[in-house]
Amino acid sequence: MAPVTTVDQGPRVIARRVTVNAPAAELFAMLNDPRRHGEVDGSGTVRDNVRGPEQLSQGAKFTTAMKMFGVPYRLTCTVTEHEDTAERKVIEWEHPAGHRWRWEFVPVDQGTTEVTESFDPTKSKIGRVLEVTGLAGRNVAGIEQTLAKLAARYA
């Protein structure tokens, strides 16, 4: 299995990348359906109970059941970027507090894709709180586990 590597996307942005033995279109389709996010979540926070469109698009909203520190909650995110071209595919959504989660899929060849997941707290209303409390740092482990799980699924 390919290693998960660190990607520099600027100060405070947490980003990791892995090469997955699957076509970009297949991986994009999985993340483009919010009901399937739990299939790849390695953090243990994303639940299966999702409301929203079957396929995401720019401006779409979806609500996800989450659980952190044993406490269940729901949040509604808004898609802030959605791109589906032959060169790359991108899905980014914004948490209600303003921080963003981003997935980028870049085909290496027909059956292999570089997948980058990132967490960007720079526009968050509570960004520094996330960092001071250590919650932002927890995202490092969650992203790494998620990407490792995704790569293992197609190993």
Domain boundaries along the sequence of the chain: 5-153
Q: 28-44, pLDDT tens digit by residue? A: 999 999 989 888 888 77
Q: Report how far residue 105's alpha carbon sits from residue 114's, in angstroms, rounded to the nearest whole number.
A: 6
Listed in sequence order, the residues at least 6 apart from 29 whose beta carbon sits closer than 8 Å to its beta carbon are: none
Give the Cβ contact number of residue 116 at 10 Å. Answer: 20
Q: Tell me, what's the pLDDT at 119?
A: 94
Whole-model pTM? 0.91
Tell me how crowded residue 153 is: count the other CB atoms within 10 A of its CB.
Answer: 14
Is 54 within 8 Å of 149 (Cβ atoms)? no
What architecture does CATH give domain 5-153?
A: 2-Layer Sandwich (3.30)
Residue-by-residue pLDDT tens, the chain, 155 positions: 679 999 999 888 999 999 999 999 999 999 999 989 888 888 777 766 678 899 999 999 999 877 777 888 888 999 999 999 999 999 999 999 999 999 999 999 989 999 999 999 988 888 777 778 877 778 899 999 999 999 999 99
